[in-house]
Amino acid sequence: MSIQDAHSISLQCGACPIRHRAVCARCETDELALLEEIKYYRSFEAGQTVAWAGDKMDFVASVVSGIATLTQTMEDGRTQMVGLLLPSDFVGRPGRETAAYNVTATTDLLMCCFRKRPFEEMMMRTPHVAQRLLEMTLDELDAAREWMLLLGRKTAREKIASLVAIIARRDASLKLRSPQGRMVFDLPLTREAMADYLGLTLETVSRQISALKRDGVIELQGKRHVTIPDFDLLLTEAGDDNDGGYLT
């Protein structure tokens, strides 16, 4: 694990690329100053473990850049990916001593960390932090319900299109753009990781990506650089409308 503190990474809260989406999004200037006092940075290389399920966590954090996965290991050794952590997502739980899931860096990962005890105390004194964390928790609950629908009812093609749409929306949000029209971004997951996350085989993922490319829904340069010519068309393939809801 590579650990870097605020002295080696010069990134002020006001200039942070996830400032408008992270747990600090509602903070005023004086509240940001308090966060500055308790924050530090950690960086992880792709494949490194951030936390093991059951391990004590003495920090909470926001993902600044990169992608991490949440996985759960069963007693017989089988592992299931249960979530993705994208830039601005929150890691850890105030009031909980241990990690609920394995957290692993999928790409090179930079996290803005806060010492847990001071952060918990700040939540009691600073309603803006607690309010934003509640909003993010409810958003995460909505996302989990949508994911249950995706895994339980959608076809393999719809699953792939849905995952691409999720990543496209987040990329647009971080760039302060509306997800519409032509969109270009880098896919942060390997096809193997996509297969694990979606409950599909690698062969099925590759076949469906090729089909979406052949039908003009996506364009690929290499394996990761994605162009979406028409975001509405992608949503149609995902079974969603342009507000993100499921088409009934």
Residue 245: inside a domain: no
Domain match, 59 and 118 both: yes
Per the structure, the count of domains in the chain is: 2
> Can you read off the two tokens belonging to residue 32?
């940001």
Domain match, 99 and 218 both: no
- Which of the 8 DSSP states describes residue 247? P
Domain match, 132 and 160 both: no
Domain match, 12 and 127 both: yes
Residue 248: inside a domain: no
Q: Could you tell me the residue range of the domain that residue 230 belongs to?
A: 154-238
Judge if pTM exceeds 0.95. no
Helix (H, G, I), strand (E, B) or coil at 150: helix
Domain match, 132 and 166 both: no
Domain match, 79 and 43 both: yes
pLDDT tens figures, 189-247: 889 888 988 889 999 999 999 999 999 999 999 878 999 999 999 999 998 754 444 33
pLDDT tens figures, 170-198: 888 877 788 888 999 988 888 988 898 88
- Which of the 8 DSSP states describes residue 246? B
